[in-house]
Structure 1
Amino acid sequence: MADANISIQVINETETDLQRTLEVNRPVKIAIISVLGVMITLSNIAVVMVITSAVSGWSRNSRYFLLSLTGADSAFGLLIMPLNLCVSFMKEYNEGPDPFCHVVAFFNATIYSTCMYTLATISLERYVAVFYPLKYSTLLTRKRALLLISFAWIFPPVLLVPISVPAGIIEVSFSRASLVCNPMYSSNVSYSLALTCLIFFPCSAIMTFCNLRLWIAAKRQRLKLRKHSWGGGYRPKVALRVLVPVMTVYFACWTPCMVIMLYNAISGSGVPEWIEFIAVWLPTSNGFLNCIFYFWINHSFRKKFHVLLQRLCLGLCPGADTDSGCVNSAESSMAPGWNSNYSLHERFSSVSSNCTLLTLMTTETNIREPEPA
């Protein structure tokens, strides 16, 4: 009996120490989440400013898909982070799971899933544009592009609606380690495994297949250009420089979260505090990194952003044009002679890589196809 009391006392002291540690680390975590939310929001606002204007080298469908990605990424900073921080403050006075936490967990899972589906549709659009350039307009019409985008936004909520039901098929609780309303995946292993099989694995497979094929094609064309000394292989270098970081960042951000989800579902156990925090919030950082790899790497995007920023500065300070020469720089950046050369040059580094390999792949396709008799 005495040994049992000692064991209970040790367990209680351990739990008290854990709770104390969680409370000490909570301000640091809140600061990290807040800074990340501001970075995601500001970067995606800049992206929306540029995408809504004309950018050379971007097709209409590409802009639709990228606007969808921007919307999903913006939801991380405008919806996911405020909701979870709100719950973290409310939990000071309301312990245990509640209906609001179920709703927050539903929004968390929905936005995460929509982002993955959107990244997969972008890869699919890029694949069709590069490998089927002559059939692109018939294979991926405007209607089909909008249907793909609609599917990426509608299917996840339908699939994840059981999470929003307080007395549903899966339990939800607030995690003090990650400051997030998380489903307890071990409470329904079958449903948890079904989510990974319908969301993460299909999206990852599509992205890996499409980007791997694009990477192989870019590398092959680079070797051909190097062999024949045609321009130093600039266009394939652009594709190689974009494709590898995109896939690396995707798997680096999403795999830890999925691994912990599967581990929790199968074993019913948790992971150390900071490992859980980093793994849960890594996918949201993908919303900021997407702005870098899908937008900021593109020279035409940066140039357009600089022009819009100069116009905004001139609108706020009209008298600054004579001192700083902003008007002259903006006008020179939009001059007809510069614009024609720049537009031709930036076709090779389109954000969706459509123009990176399109010309080369079209030529190769024409060579392969026999001429009609």
Structure 2
Amino acid sequence: MLSWALITLGNIAVVLVISSSVSGWSRNSRYLLLSLTGADSAFGLIITPLNLCVSLMKDYSDGPDLLCHIVAFFNATVYSTCMYTLATISLERYIAVFYPLVYCSLMTRRRTLLLIGFAWCFPPVLLVPISVPKGIIEVHFSTASLVCNPSYSTNVGYSVALMCFIFFPCSIVMTYANLCLWFAAKRQRVKMRTVNLGRLHRPNVASRVLIPVMTVYYTCWTPCMATIIYNAVTGHRVPEWLEFVVVWLPTSNGFLNCIFYFWINRSFRRKFYMLFQRLCLTLCPDLAKALGGTDSLQTGIWENNNSVPERSSSVSSTCTLITLADDTSF
């Protein structure tokens, strides 16, 4: 329940901020980050309630039923959509940094929306056999994790196909894009250090952002994928305690994404504080005035109205890595 509350509240705050203009974030960046927020929110708004409902209604003596198959389908769909969205963000960030002059022609609004649509529409098509009782793959209710899971050993070919279409391509795109960005930022940091002759110490922002992003991704998703492969190949299930961990570990990725993609960004924090002050000023004007919120709110509005127009190239929270050595926003 704590994880559900953190994911829900965190993503509500994210939606409130990035639904409007944020300094330094392009329109494409906001579209992709809203898509990621929607996928992360589905963990708390869809996955958790559905599995809780099944755990209360399921007769443990019975085999898998239609409801269990549908819940397993939604579980796998949301997980897959989240991975596709993370890979799309990494791809967009890579294009913005390494091809800034042709970014507008490559990442048009239409293509960005098509990528988002693919991330949301392709997984249900690929995973629809899971929703069919007595179909090509069976589903079992796990008493350890209280989740309906596909029995991947009942169809090894389909299980391997899912891995080849979802986890492996998304992981390759994310790893390649973020490694290239990290090395580019490292080279730029060395150049800046040489120009300044070591007189100014600049934080290694790339390591503080990209490394945690990739570490969290593999920490949350690799155990789950490894368990799927183990079950498909051997036909055996892992111990119950391990099954519980690997099933619910990806859910925490939704909350951690809020931290790494949003909260560590200075522009996001500024916009959130401004919206929070505006809300306090509306609901409790005396309290906001006593806390000095009026002046800071007016300053924030002035800065927002007089800020530089949105740049066409994406400059999302970890995107502008070519100039990252000069960035002190984290």
Counterpart of 2:241 in structure 1 is: 274
Structure-2 change in CA distance of 1:94 and 1:47 (3 Å): farther
CA contact (8 A) 1:122 1:352 kept: no
Secondary structure of 1:354's counterpart equals: coil
Counterpart of 1:219 in structure 2 is: 186
Counterpart of 2:66 in structure 1 is: 99
Aligned residues: 320
Q: What is the alpha-carbon distance in structure 1 between the residues aligned to residue 269 and residue 145 of structure 2? A: 35
CA contact (8 A) 2:140 2:150 kept: yes
CA contact (8 A) 1:129 1:358 kept: no
Counterpart of 1:371 in structure 2 is: none
Q: What is the alpha-carbon distance in structure 2 between the residues aligned to residue 233 and residue 248 of structure 1? A: 26
Matching residue's letter, 1:312: L
Counterpart of 1:262 in structure 2 is: 229
Structure-2 change in CA distance of 1:189 and 1:309 (3 Å): same
1:356 shift after superposition? 3.3
Matching residue's letter, 2:54: V
1:264 shift after superposition? 0.7
Matching residue's letter, 2:51: N
CA contact (8 A) 2:26 2:316 kept: no
Counterpart of 1:355 in structure 2 is: 320
Q: How does 1:146-185 map to 2 (within 5 A)?
A: 146-185=113-152
Quick check: 135-144 or 110-119, which moved more?
Answer: 135-144
Instruction: Work out which of the two has the higher radius of gyration on C-alpha atoms and give 1 or 2.
Output: 1
Tell me which stretches of 4 or more aligned residues in structure 1 moved more than 6 Å.
none
Structure-2 change in CA distance of 1:351 and 1:94 (3 Å): farther
Structure-2 change in CA distance of 1:328 and 1:139 (3 Å): same
Structure-2 change in CA distance of 1:239 and 1:338 (3 Å): farther
Which protein is richer in helix relative to its size?
1
Q: What is the alpha-carbon distance in structure 1 between the residues aligned to residue 321 and residue 179 of structure 2? A: 15
CA contact (8 A) 2:11 2:41 kept: yes
Matching residue's letter, 2:118: F
With a CA cutoff of 8 Å and minimum separation of 6, indicate the structure with the bigger relative contact order: 2
1:353 shift after superposition? 2.9
Work out whether 1:62 is the aligned partner of 2:29.
yes
Q: How does 1:97-246 map to 2 (within 5 A)?
A: 97-229=64-196, 232=200, 234=202, 237-246=204-213
Q: Deviations over 1:143-193 (max 9, x none)?
A: 111111111011100000000001210000110111110000001011001
CA contact (8 A) 1:105 1:181 kept: yes
CA contact (8 A) 1:175 1:182 kept: yes
1:284 shift after superposition? 0.8
Gaps of 5+ in 2: 326-330
CA contact (8 A) 2:188 2:323 kept: no
Counterpart of 2:282 in structure 1 is: 315
Q: What is the alpha-carbon distance in structure 2 between the residues aligned to residue 307 and residue 39 of structure 1? A: 21
Structure-2 change in CA distance of 1:355 and 1:128 (3 Å): same
Structure-2 change in CA distance of 1:160 and 1:137 (3 Å): same
CA contact (8 A) 1:133 1:358 kept: no
Structure-2 change in CA distance of 1:171 and 1:324 (3 Å): same
Counterpart of 2:328 in structure 1 is: none
1:233 shift after superposition? 7.0
Secondary structure of 1:39's counterpart equals: helix
Matching residue's letter, 1:307: M
Structure-2 change in CA distance of 1:337 and 1:315 (3 Å): closer
Identity level (%): 67
CA contact (8 A) 2:220 2:252 kept: yes
CA contact (8 A) 2:206 2:324 kept: no
CA contact (8 A) 1:57 1:355 kept: no
1:351 shift after superposition? 3.3
Could you tell me which of 296, 313, 325 is aligned with 2:292?
325
Q: What is the alpha-carbon distance in structure 2 between the residues aligned to residue 109 and residue 58 of structure 1? A: 31
Gaps of 5+ in 1: 1-33, 361-373
Q: Deviations over 1:85-139 (max 9, x none)?
A: 1101112576321100000000000000000000000000000000000010011
1:140 shift after superposition? 1.2
Matching residue's letter, 1:37: W
Secondary structure of 2:22's counterpart equals: coil
Q: What is the alpha-carbon distance in structure 2 between the residues aligned to residue 193 and residue 97 of structure 1? A: 22
Work out whether 1:85 is the aligned partner of 2:52.
yes
CA contact (8 A) 2:138 2:154 kept: yes
Q: What is the alpha-carbon distance in structure 2 between the residues aligned to residue 104 and residue 179 of structure 1? A: 11
CA contact (8 A) 1:170 1:187 kept: yes
Matching residue's letter, 2:319: N
Secondary structure of 2:205's counterpart equals: helix
Quick check: 164-173 or 94-103, which moved more?
Answer: 94-103
CA contact (8 A) 2:265 2:317 kept: no
